[in-house]
Amino acid sequence: MSVLSAPVAPAASPPVFSPEEIAARARRIREPVHIVSGPAGRELGLAAGPLPEGPVLGTLPPLYPEWLGGRTFCEAHGVRFPYVAGEMANGIATTRMVSAMAGAEMLGFFGAGGLAYAEVERAVHALADELRTRANWGVNLIHSPAEPALEFRVAELLLRCGVPRISASAYMELTPAVVLCSARGLRRGADGSIVRRTRILAKVSRPEVAERFLAPAPAALLDLLVGQGRLTPQEAGLAALVPVAEDITVEADSGGHTDNRPLSVLLPRIALLRDALCHRYGYHRPVRIGAAGGLGTPAAVGAAFALGASYVVTGSVNQTATEAGLSEEAKAMLCEADVADVAMAPAADMFELGVTLQVLSRGTMFAQRAARLHAAYRAHGSLEEIPPALRAAIEQNVLRASFDEVWQHTRAFWERRDPSEITRAEADPKHRMALVFRWYLGSSSRWAITGETARRTDYQIWCGPATGAFNRWVAGTFLAEPANRSVVQIALNLLEGAAVLTRAHQLRTCGVPLPSEAFAFTPRGLA
């Protein structure tokens, strides 16, 4: 007859007091750790396992990367980790990347910005077919003031295909497209609460824009959509009771569109605004604040959570991932960048407005050449007004083609995408000049994606200082190898490292003398 023996409690481990042993014990984040005093009562050390004999000053419970953010974010989006791989325009954030993140119980967004409608449609259908049983994936909806019809058409596509999550980016004002995505499908649940079919994550970098997403949708836009038959009166009535977005991503000093605000300033400011508006409108559900921009190391991710972020969004660092839709040559350029190797340049989609974005400067002349085009646009009323010497310099050194040749390429593009732009350009010489110059800005991004080696010095690669910080962190480690740099491994290592650093900070605030190596995390293969 067999007898089941009682479980044996783990043996207590002796306390440790040397700097090396303290650092090693602190890294065991998934175990409780006891803070103990030494024999003399003055020095502090650490013990693991059951409560040790002698004075125990405190105990920290286990810590997991899953617990770093707000639990309501994970519950709302059906994810295990409070982590998002953000959209990178022109499909650089690929469907492969979105699928990998969904499979790893995180959230990823396809980079639809800048793509033609047909390309977005193919990607959305592919994702919807593959991930139809999941809620943790999404697609980007970008504000397109120059192409409002395309923006609205993409919004309708996302709703028609049942895309569960939409990242709204680059918005300065609310548009019918983003309000439609927020309000379509709103209904009352069995308990009377308002249920959303589609969840909006709004990227903002200014308090005034955050306020628009934190407030209910404007009555004028709701009435317009009801009048067009795109919303029911019931949906519009419920939209007046909830914020446009229940997830506000505070975008600090990021690659791409950015206002270069420090996260430590911007996130607390918008969190205060969130609290005030939630109180004003009497919302019954919490509105979550996320952090994006500058997140390239575990220290930065840990700091974002310490600021109160419910989730983090990474962008630039994922461009070197194996799934990223960027040429190997452009990825290699990114891998050489340091924190100062970035510059501001005119944005193709908002060229006429003077909006700038952050790009890689090391190894490419794009920022300087794009700035030269925008200066010419501001100074002159048409291509014909540009002085001959300046015209020759732009044609030879920037465009590498004559204005007339570029206009023919541009005209062919807009004939396929939106013929009204040609009509407008023929009536407005300054708009024609803008379209010619925007050809260079749009092409430079595509050259980096396809690896057009002859135009290497014209590559437009969106990049913030976080890329340089990431490169220094992974140098000489597992993640330095391109084949190991999947979007999931990047995410898991950033989160694991952030948890290790968080535990170290907890212990330091308790007075434990931690050496500097306790605040370092070396990337490794994680599952």
Flag whether pLDDT at 478 surpasses 60.
Answer: yes
Q: Which residue has the higher pLDDT, 13 or 43?
A: 43
Query: Going by C-beta distance under 8 Å and a sequence separation of 6 or more, which residues neighbour residue 403?
Result: 383, 391, 395, 436
In the chain, helix, strand, coil percent, each to 5?
45, 15, 40
Q: What is the DSSP string of 366-385?
A: HHHHHHHHHHHHHH-SSGGG
Confidence category of residue 12, pLDDT binned at 50, 70, 90: low
- 1 compared with 432, residue with greater pLDDT: 432
Share of the chain above pLDDT 90, in %: 91
Length of the chain counted residue by residue: 527
Between β-strands 311-314 and 83-85, what pairing exists: parallel, antiparallel or unpaired? parallel
> Looking at residues 261-286, what average pLDDT do you find?
96
Higher pLDDT, 341 or 39: 341
- State the average pLDDT for the chain: 95
* Radius of gyration over every alpha carbon of the chain, rounded to an integer in angstroms: 26
- Note the pLDDT tens digit of each residue in 296-326: 999 999 999 999 999 999 999 999 999 999 9
Q: What is the pLDDT of residue 2?
A: 39
Supply the pLDDT for residue 3: 40
**Token duo for residue 197:** 């079919």
pLDDT digits (tens, 9 = 90+) for 171-227: 999 999 999 999 999 999 999 999 999 999 999 999 999 999 999 999 999 999 999
pLDDT at 5 over 50: no
Q: Can you list the alpha helix ranges (DSSP code H) found in 475-512? A: 487-509
Q: Could you give the CA distance from residue 188 to residue 230 in angstroms, rounded to a whole number?
A: 19
- Least confidently predicted of 36-45, 93-102, 243-252, 289-298: 36-45
Question: Measuring CA to CA, which residue among 372, 315, 361 is closest to residue 459?
Answer: 361
The DSSP bridge pattern shows strands 187-188 and 165-169 to be unpaired
Give the start-end residues of each E strand in 227-275. Answer: 247-251, 256-257
Paired tokens of 499: 């948890």
345 pLDDT above the threshold of 90: yes
Which range has the worst mean pLDDT, 17-26, 49-58, 285-294? 49-58
In the prediction, which pLDDT does 1 show? 36
Reply yes or no on whether the pLDDT at 7 is more than 50.
Answer: no
- Rounded to whole angstroms, the Cα distance separating 380 from 383 reads 8
